[in-house]
Structure 1
Amino acid sequence: MAYILNLETATTNCSVSLSKDGNTIAITEDARNGYSHAEKLHVFIDEVLREANLDSKALIDAIAVSKGPGSYTGLRIGVSAAKGLAYALDVPLISVPTLEVLAHQVSCNDGVIVAMLDARRMEVYSAVFNSKYNQIRDTKAQIIDETSFGTYLEQGNVYFIGNGVTKTKSMIQHPNAFFIEDKLPSANEMGQLAFNKYKISDTEDVAYFEPYYLKDFVALKPKST
């Protein structure tokens, strides 16, 4: 039996779950108020432990964190918290790709899943998975235009999911394109993925692990007033 605490902070959704042998037994999340992870994350951790009637953090067997890509600040907060907890509790640290977490919100028998997160302007971070959730195209930062994902669309159904869908829907017009809107990565889908890694000791070095940013952080200049 393994209790894993799962942290998802790659987008505006601050999401924490506790899973037992891969099954979510408690979850708290909030995507309504922008990036408030610094204030909410540790509060949510305490809430899920109470909801699951877990008396102590010492009963946790591993900490899992969504590793990116995503928001630079969100990822830093989540990974820092995960590393601190893993070190303090002396338990393994497990990382789960954010786009894989997102893809698991789609259930389909055919075609492919494109998990995508919004980046600047017409850019998204995206990865492509088959209906069994095996990744069949590398994670990329790409500019969306009318020809994007054309090869997959000509072959069959393509299910687009994530907060990159809005800009994609405005550019891609194809009968095989299905757009699943208003979805963000959630710790609810992390439990089984983290448990699969836990069983084979696929863990990270707490001292050296860093988020997968995909692109270098670029600070925006404040607007003049």
Structure 2
Amino acid sequence: MNFLAIETSTETCSVALVHGDEVIERSEVAPRRHAELVLPMADELLAEAGLKRQALDGIAVGRGPGAFTGVRLGVSLAQGMAMALDIPVVTVSSLQALALEAPEDDAAILSVIDARMGEIYVAAWRRDADGGVSLLDRERVDTAAALVLPEAAAWHVVGSGWATYEAILRERIPAPILSAEGARYPQARHVAEVAARRFRAGEAVAPELALPVYLRDKVALTLVEQGKA
């Protein structure tokens, strides 16, 4: 199966191409440049594999949560390409893709994205026997100070939320932290990893049913909330 995976929900813009058993990718930390980079990245990967867009069997995309503009961009591009090519789409949680950046062992994984406005996008995961991850709780938006986690013997923490709220999160994580990486972002190769299983399971949807997940509707503080009025 040939399919493209797109992940633009955070500071990193990344695209991966699954071509049979091979996965090739392009990834760059490039805030505010995703719209400029994502299609050229896709075209470079197709050219490297010697494929035309018409050879694609599907599109996978990180559905969020993350930056509103980045999530919208990724999902809109996936929908547009899939509609033009008459192929299905698989959407993948960006928090799930981020969790796959953690080391592969028995420790629980906390994926945490800085949501700005004093909040985080967060979810806890466990490793599956096949190397994937499954939810231990639910994906949500919360403050770091209010975070409540399920019981686990140890944790890995990945994501920009750690870089912003490390001191608070250390107080909220009740078990030993085996590793913590604040400069980790969801990557298209992990979107592709999850999507490959879903394509095989027949879980792809029509492009118009591929929807973003924001977890919150509010994108900015009011002047009153900012203390400016």
TM-score when normalising by structure 1: 0.88
Query: 1:105 — aligned with what?
Result: 101
Correspondence for 1:193 = 194
Matches within 5 A, 1:213-224: 213-219=214-220
- CA distance in 1 between partners of 2:95 and 2:219 (Å): 21
Q: Is the 8 A contact 1:169 1:179 kept in 2?
A: no
State the distance in 1 between where 2:17 and 2:212 align.
Answer: 21
Shift of 1:128: 0.7
Secondary structure of residue in 2 paired with 1:40: helix
Shift of 1:78: 0.7
1:119 is displaced (CA, Å) by 0.9
Deviation at 1:92, TM superposition (A): 0.9
Query: Number of paired residues?
Result: 217
Partner Cα separation in structure 2 for residue 43 and residue 221 of structure 1: 37
SS in 2 for 1:107: coil
The 5 A counterparts of 1:51-62 are 51-54=48-51, 56-62=52-58
Task: Give the alignment of 1:40-119 within 5 angstroms.
Answer: 40-54=37-51, 56-119=52-115
Could you tell me whether the CA contact under 8 Å between 1:21 and 1:192 is conserved in 2? no
Structure 1 SS opposite 2:191 = helix
Does the CA contact (< 8 Å) of 1:94 and 1:197 recur in 2? yes
Q: d(CA) in 2 for partners of 1:150 and 1:220?
A: 27
Q: Distance in 2 between matches of 1:170 and 1:23?
A: 40
Aligned to 1:164, the other structure's residue is in SS state helix
| Partner secondary structure for residue 29 of structure 1 | strand
CA-to-aligned-CA distance 1:126-149 (integer Å, 9 cap, x gap): 11101221111100111112x734
* 1:141 counterpart residue number: 141
Determine the C-alpha separation between the residues in 1 that align with 2:125 and 2:21: 21
Distance 1:163 1:21 in 2: 32
Q: Structure 1 stretch 204-213 or stretch 184-193: which is displaced more?
A: 204-213
Match of 1:34 in 2: 31
**Matches of residues 154-193 of structure 1 in structure 2 within 5 Å?**
155-171=152-168, 172-173=170-171, 176-177=176-177, 178-193=179-194
Residue 137 of structure 2 aligns to a residue in which SS? strand
C-alpha distance in 1 between matches for 2:18 and 2:98? 17
Where does structure 2 lack aligned partners over 5 or more consecutive residues? Answer: none
CA distance in 2, matches of 1:40, 1:139: 28
Identity fraction in percent: 28
Q: Name stretches of at least 5 consecutive residues in structure 1 with no aligned partner.
A: none
Q: Compute the TM-score of the two structures, normalised by the length of structure 2.
A: 0.87
Is the CA contact 2:118–2:143 (under 8 Å) kept in the aligned structure 1?
Answer: yes
| Residues 21, 195 of structure 1: 8 Å contact kept | no
